[in-house]
Amino acid sequence: MQGFVSADIFERVYEHVYPIIIRIAYRITGREDVAEELCQEAFIKYYERIDSFPDTDQAKYWLIRVAKNLALNSAKRSGRERRAYERAYHEPSRLLRTGEDEVIRKEQEAEVQAALRLLPQKMRTVLILKEYGQLNYREIGAILGITEGNVKVRVFRAREHLLDLLKEGDVHAS
């Protein structure tokens, strides 16, 4: 990759955007290894068309959009696989307990993931972009192709929905 201006741009975008998209991909898929793989795929796609982005902001929005789509597709696939596995063995997946702190941390983590999973996809995506993507409404709108007003409504509804779920105690880490 050396010897090209593009390589320098690529590295700068990577440094800035990777921490954002790995968090988003993880919150959608719930798996570190899968999230990493998806981020790598997104950056390789970006590298292949690096010259077509007028500035690094556009590259960032594009990368977030690609990572988000890859993660949603992956989550759908793994959701189907998990359900099939659980049906076959009648055994929900469990956390590995290796120490009190670790258990608490994992339970909190699993609770967050479970709560997010309960949201309808449109609400979940917009809330993940807001909470983990460090993005404002305008940027989220640019990524999802919707208006700022629409982003505002979806974020609000997602929070309202989550509050209801947590109040009713419907969130169980599985």
Contact set with other proteins (CB under 8 A): 1, 3-4, 6-7, 14-15, 18-19, 22-23, 26-27, 32, 36, 39-40, 43-44, 47, 105-106, 108-109, 111-112, 115-116, 127, 130-131, 136-137, 152-153, 155-156, 159-160, 162-163, 166
Exposed, middle or buried by CB within 10 Å (0-12, 13-18, 19+), for 10? middle
Question: How far, in Å, CA of 90 to CA of 41, rounded?
Answer: 34
Q: Nearer to other proteins by C-beta: 3 or 89? A: 3
Q: Residue 49 carries which DSSP code?
A: T
* Phi, psi angle pair for 158, to nearest 5°: -60, -45
Choose between 80 and 97: whose C-beta lies nearer to other proteins.
Answer: 97
* Least distance between other proteins and beta carbon 89 (Å): 25
What tokens were used for 54? 């007028």
Comparison of 84 and 108: residue with beta carbon closer to other proteins: 108
